[in-house]
């Protein structure tokens, strides 16, 4: 039976007025079980809703009257009530295989569920997609979706996914696009496996067979020190230059043929290649912002507009439906970062911005600007990622242990700023919290406007 627990009930909501409580188990809506929050949302949209629950081992039904379209006011324990469709691929570059032991179990869950792609923007390979799934996506308008492509050559894609269905599953991508579903794609590039001529072939395949893709992000493989795949190696600067050249050449071709660039290289490539980032307008709608594509350019614009006290640039939230789904829990990237935020005034001797090695590449050239805003010394403290090792250098993957190590010897008279992108529900990936750090650290939102506001305070 598909069951979800009620985590919270909004005060004065229809659910609250009807007497629903946290801990109640949702068994069904309007006389039928529901598989996920998508079905749940559809069923509770009307003016009269029958909710079947279990409380203290006893089952009961409640009739709730409300306005049509009014949210019921529940947050449920999971977006999927039946069972998350897990991934049966064995990609050598999968980061879950490269995690150190002892991390939270939730970090090791591999999903390949189109529902989570729709709700949260997770990428799916479509190797477990079915005709019934396609019918539901189309009939219920589950759009946009996010698809991992990696290669369009069926044999190479099958090898990359280590799954024979990888050779044929892109037929579902064709079917989705034919049905008018908005799809964003991703290519994780592994040097020696799907770069060079294979990447050229993949972009040609997208151009010829899947030109309806709204965007395609090209990102480099991340390799931790726990990697056991000998065939994987990190990108060199020359590798990064070749990928950028390839992507930018194809982007011009897409732009000429379809009036949009479609393919974009991640910020990490420009950092590795030591090339300037494209203009924010080159990323068009910033559809792949959360994939690390256009983040640096948009951050620079945010800082500039905040200095001039203009309305900040709007960064789109990845996925078009989640924000309106009553009942969907905030999980993964959607989890609250850190609740105890707020700009604080400080008389510290200097301001220190804590970031990663990649973040340092973006922030350090702007230190003079930051110093002028703050009216006092400002410097950047790059934190090497010892916890994961390898080529992992993104701020979102910093751990409390590494930040704590970097703070040793730092002065308590300084003011320390840290982006909330390193946190999920107030915790770093290693389970520690800002309270565990040896010095007080001020957590701020991960955008240029928040940084400018903190520097001015």
Q: DSSP readout, 100-132?
A: PTTS-GGGG--B--HHHHHHH---B--TT--HH
* pLDDT at residue 323, as a whole number: 45
Environment class of residue 262 by beta-carbon count within 10 Å: exposed (0-12), middle (13-18) or buried (19+)? buried
* pLDDT at residue 322, as a whole number: 44
Give the separation between CA 42 and CA 32, rounded to whole angstroms: 12
Do the Cβ atoms of 51 and 20 come closer than 8 Å? yes
Give the separation between CA 394 and CA 188, rounded to whole angstroms: 16
Report how many helices (DSSP H) and strands (DSSP E) the chain contains, helices first.
14, 13
Cα–Cα nearest to 397, from 439, 356, 452: 356
Domain 95-324 = CATH 3.40.50.1820: no
The 10 Å CB-count burial string (b at 16+, else e) for 80-95 is: bbbebbebebebbbbb
Pairs from 323-326 (Cβ < 8 Å, separation ≥ 24)? 325/37, 325/38, 325/41, 325/119, 326/37, 326/40, 326/41, 326/44, 326/71, 326/72, 326/73, 326/74
Q: Where do the domains of the chain lie?
A: 4-76, 95-324, 335-456
Cis peptide before 144 (omega within 30 of 0): yes
Tokens 């219920």 sit at which residue? 140
Sheet holding 263-265, edge to edge: 145-148, 183-189, 215-220, 263-265
* pLDDT at residue 266, as a whole number: 98
* pLDDT at residue 313, as a whole number: 62
pLDDT tens string for the chain (457 positions)? 578 899 999 999 999 999 999 999 999 999 999 999 999 988 998 999 999 999 999 999 999 999 998 999 999 998 999 988 999 999 999 999 998 887 777 777 789 999 999 998 899 999 999 999 999 999 999 999 999 999 999 999 999 999 999 999 999 999 999 999 999 999 999 999 999 999 999 999 999 999 999 999 999 999 999 999 999 999 999 999 999 999 999 999 999 999 999 999 999 999 999 999 999 999 999 999 989 999 999 999 999 999 998 666 666 655 544 444 567 777 666 667 776 765 565 567 899 999 999 999 999 999 999 999 999 999 999 999 999 999 999 999 999 999 999 999 999 999 999 999 999 889 999 999 999 999 999 999 999 999 999 999 8
Do the Cβ atoms of 147 and 123 come closer than 8 Å? yes
Do the Cβ atoms of 81 and 35 come closer than 8 Å? yes
* pLDDT at residue 102, as a whole number: 79
Query: What is residue 243's three-state secondary structure?
Result: helix
Domain 4-76 = CATH 3.40.50.300: no
Give the separation between CA 181 and CA 145, rounded to whole angstroms: 8
Query: What is residue 447's three-state secondary structure?
Result: coil
Q: Note the pTM of the prediction, 2 decimals.
A: 0.92
């Amino acid at each position: 039976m598909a069951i979800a627990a009620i985590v919270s009930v909004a005060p004065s909501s229809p659910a609250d007025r009807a007497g629903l409580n946290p801990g109640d188990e949702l068994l069904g809506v309007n006389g039928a079980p529901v598989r996920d929050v998508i079905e749940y949302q559809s069923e509770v949209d009307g003016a009269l809703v029958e909710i079947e629950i279990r409380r203290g081992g006893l089952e009961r039904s409640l009739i709730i009257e409300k306005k049509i379209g009014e949210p019921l006011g529940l947050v449920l324990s999971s977006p999927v009530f039946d069972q998350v469709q897990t991934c049966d691929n064995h990609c050598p570059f999968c980061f879950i295989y490269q995690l150190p032991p002892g991390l939270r179990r939730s970090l090791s869950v591999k999903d390949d569920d189109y529902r989570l792609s729709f709700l949260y923007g997770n990428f799916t390979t479509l190797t477990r997609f079915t005709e019934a799934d396609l019918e539901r996506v189309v009939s219920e308008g589950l759009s946009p979706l996010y698809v991992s492509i990696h290669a369009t050559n069926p044999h190479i894609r099958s090898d990359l996914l280590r799954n024979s269905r990888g050779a044929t599953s892109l037929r579902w991508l064709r079917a989705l696009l034919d049905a008018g579903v908005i799809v964003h794609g991703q290519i994780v590039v592994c040097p020696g496996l799907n770069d060079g001529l294979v990447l050229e072939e993949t972009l040609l395949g997208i151009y010829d067979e899947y030109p309806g893709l709204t965007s395609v992000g090209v990102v480099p493989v991340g390799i931790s020190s726990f990697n056991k795949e000998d065939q994987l190696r990190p990108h060199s600067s020359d590798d990064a230059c070749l990928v950028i050249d390839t992507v930018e050449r194809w982007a011009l071709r897409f732009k000429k043929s379809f009036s949009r660039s479609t393919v974009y290289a991640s910020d990490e490539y420009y950092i590795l290649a030591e090339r300037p980032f494209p203009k924010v307008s080159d990323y068009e709608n910033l559809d792949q912002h959360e994939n690390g594509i256009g983040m640096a350019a948009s951050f620079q614009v945010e800082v500039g507009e905040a200095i001039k006290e203009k309305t900040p640039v709007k960064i789109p939230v990845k996925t078009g439906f989640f924000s309106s789904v009553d009942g969907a829990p905030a999980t993964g990237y959607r989890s609250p970062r850190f609740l105890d935020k707020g700009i604080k005034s400080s008389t510290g001797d200097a301001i220190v911005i804590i970031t990663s090695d990649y973040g340092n590449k973006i922030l350090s050239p702007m230190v003079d600007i930051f110093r002028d805003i703050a009216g006092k010394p400002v410097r950047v403290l790059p934190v090497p990622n010892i916890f994961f090792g390898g080529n992992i250098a993104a701020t979102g993957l910093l751990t409390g242990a590494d930040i704590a190590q970097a703070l040793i010897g730092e002065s308590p008279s300084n003011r320390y700023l840290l982006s909330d992108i390193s946190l999920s529900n107030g915790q770093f990936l290693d389970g520690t919290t800002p309270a565990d750090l040896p010095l007080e650290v001020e957590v701020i939102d991960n955008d240029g406007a928040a940084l400018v506001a903190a520097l001015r305070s």
